[in-house]
Every structure is written in C-alpha cells, then in structure tokens.
C-alpha cells in the first residue's frame, strides 16, 4: 500500500452530512434498541426466559447489529480521510468515543459486577478507528480493504480454534485474560456483557472502508442524497448515534424499574 497525502486542516474540504450513511447508522440504533429492550425485559423477568448468551437467534441478532454499526464506522472514516479531515477534529471525535467507553465500563461494573464490560463495541471502535485511520493514510484502497478485511475476519475464529486445540498453557491463559482477550484469540468467550475484540471485527470496519471507496468512485455524492421520509427519520437518529447509544439503556432500565415498582405497589 502506497502512502497517500496526510490531512491538512488548511486545505481540508468540510465533510457534510451523508444522509444515507446516517440512515444506515440509525437503522442499527433501532435494531439495537429492540434487542436491548427485550434483554432488559428478560433481566426484569417480564418475559419468558431468553438465553442471550447461547441461543443462536439472539447471537445472530447481536452479530448483525454490531456488524452494521462497525460497517458504517468504516464508511465514515474512509470518507472523512478522503475529505481531508484534520487530526484535531479526528482526536475530538475519538476522545468522545473513548470517554464513553470508559463510562460504559464504569456503569457495567455497577450493574453487572461479575460480567462488567472491559472491551465492548465502543472500546473496540476507539482502537479500530486509530488503526483504520493509520491504514488509510498508508494507502488502504482498491482491493486491499476487501482482501485484508476478509483475512482479519477469518483470523479471529481460526486463531481461536487453533488455540482451543492446544493443551492448556500460559499462552492460552494470557490470551484469555482481560489484558489480552481484546485481540480476539480466545479459547472461550469471556464472562462479559459486551465483547467486540479486534479480530474479527476490524475486518468488518475495513469492508466498510472498501464499500465507501467503491461507492464514491462509481456514484460520487450518492451517499449524501436524501433517503426518503423514513430515511430522514433514521438519519436524525444516526447523526446522534453516540449520544443515543449512551442514553437509551439508562432510559429503558429506568422506565422498567419504575414500572416494576408501580406494579409491585398496585
């Protein structure tokens, strides 16, 4: 991959809102909300017991939500670098993501002390954004995002399968620990409420990079075109995705807590 020019804040073109990317991100937010609402209902014993950790239906729901979220992150990062986004602007957004990741860790420690989140989707995104921006500035374009993305997606499960086939030892113990399990080479999923390791998920981000570059080359400006009334509503949600992500669970849990308290007193 050949180096490409680095962003220059004096020549950077402002990156306007991309209506269709916002709508896609908003769709991920709606899907996530439905998933978390059922998860919370299950936590409060208000629905028939659901196994969110081993039932394939819920595992695939989560996989789809995280994939869509990270795919749009890859699209956004590719377009931001293409538009010449400055480093200060990048660091401001990155600090928001990383700061919210720390808040998620603190909140999960309080609510789920035995399965708190040490490397969830926001933690993963903070690391993946750094790696992806570096790769884009080194020339991640053409077929490379697709090929390397596929290799990264395959590397996670293949590496874990190889590790599981080995006799238990210090390497497996180290990679299974919270200090290193974020890499994605684990013998088992750690006891945590959210786990989005570098592998395979960085590959999904890079597929988003490839999709953005492919679409921009064939239909410049297409991602910024209006997406219709439903798309506009989803786009509004997508524009505030980080704030919504941080607020939706406290609101849902607070509402269900109030509901169970009122029903209990009735």
Measured CA distances, 79 to 73, 141, 205, 214, 223 (Å): 10, 12, 13, 11, 10
Average pLDDT over residues 179-188: 95
- Does the pLDDT of residue 172 top 60, yes or no? yes
Place 219 in a pLDDT band, splitting at 50, 70 and 90. confident
Q: What is the pLDDT of residue 5?
A: 45
99 secondary structure, DSSP code: H
Contact 205, 133 (CB under 8 A): no
Q: What is the pLDDT of residue 10?
A: 41
- Does the pLDDT of residue 9 top 70, yes or no? no
Contact 212, 222 (CB under 8 A): no
Q: What is the pLDDT of residue 1?
A: 53
Asked, as a colleague might, if the bond just before 200 is cis with ω within 30 of 0, I would say yes
Token pair listed for 60: 């695939």
Residues 6 or more apart in contact with residue 208 via CB below 8 angstroms: 70, 71, 72, 73, 74, 75, 76, 77, 78
Contact 13, 83 (CB under 8 A): yes
6 secondary structure, DSSP code: P
pLDDT digits (tens, 9 = 90+) for 88-129: 999 999 999 999 999 999 999 998 899 999 999 999 999 999
- Does the pLDDT of residue 166 top 60, yes or no? yes
CA–CA dist 197, 241 (Å, integer)? 21
Place 8 in a pLDDT band, splitting at 50, 70 and 90. very low
Per cent of the chain over pLDDT 70 is 92
3-state secondary structure of 64: helix
Token pair listed for 12: 């950077």
Q: Looking at per-residue confidence, does 18 or 247 come out higher?
A: 247
- Does the pLDDT of residue 6 top 70, yes or no? no
3-state secondary structure of 235: helix
Q: What is the pLDDT of residue 203?
A: 98
The kind and range of the H/E element at 115 are: none
pLDDT digits (tens, 9 = 90+) for 10-61: 444 445 577 888 999 999 999 999 999 999 999 999 999 999 989 999 999 9
Q: What is the pLDDT of residue 159?
A: 94
Asked, as a colleague might, if the bond just before 147 is cis with ω within 30 of 0, I would say no
Contact 238, 29 (CB under 8 A): yes
Q: Looking at per-residue confidence, does 132 or 229 come out higher?
A: 132
Average pLDDT over residues 1-12: 46
Closest by CA to 182, choosing from 234, 125, 240, is 125
Average pLDDT over residues 150-172: 94
């Amino acid at each position: 991959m050949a180096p490409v020019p680095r962003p220059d804040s004096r020549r950077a073109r402002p990156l306007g809102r991309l209506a269709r990317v916002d709508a896609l991100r908003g769709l991920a937010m709606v899907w996530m909300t439905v998933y978390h609402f059922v998860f919370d209902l299950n936590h409060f014993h208000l629905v028939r017991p659901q196994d969110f950790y081993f039932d394939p239906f819920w595992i695939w729901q989560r996989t789809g939500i995280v994939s869509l979220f990270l795919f749009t992150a890859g699209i956004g990062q590719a377009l931001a670098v293409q538009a010449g986004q400055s480093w200060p602007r990048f660091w401001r957004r990155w600090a928001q993501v990383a700061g919210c990741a720390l808040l998620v860790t603190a909140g999960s420690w309080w609510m789920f002390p035995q399965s708190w989140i040490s490397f969830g989707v926001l933690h993963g995104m903070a690391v993946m954004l750094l790696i992806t921006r570096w790769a884009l500035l080194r020339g991640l374009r053409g077929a490379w995002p697709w090929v390397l993305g596929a290799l990264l997606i395959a590397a996670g499960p293949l590496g874990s399968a190889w590790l599981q086939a080995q006799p238990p030892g210090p390497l497996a113990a180290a990679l299974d620990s919270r200090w290193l399990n974020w890499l994605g080479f684990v013998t088992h999923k750690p006891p945590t409420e959210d786990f989005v390791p570098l592998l395979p998920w960085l590959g999904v981000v890079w597929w988003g990079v490839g999709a953005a570059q492919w679409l921009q080359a064939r239909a410049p400006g297409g991602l910024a075109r209006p997406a219709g009334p439903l798309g506009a509503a989803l786009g509004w949600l997508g524009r505030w995705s980080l704030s919504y992500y941080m607020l939706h669970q406290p609101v849902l849990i607070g509402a269900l807590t109030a509901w169970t308290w009122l029903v209990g007193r009735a």
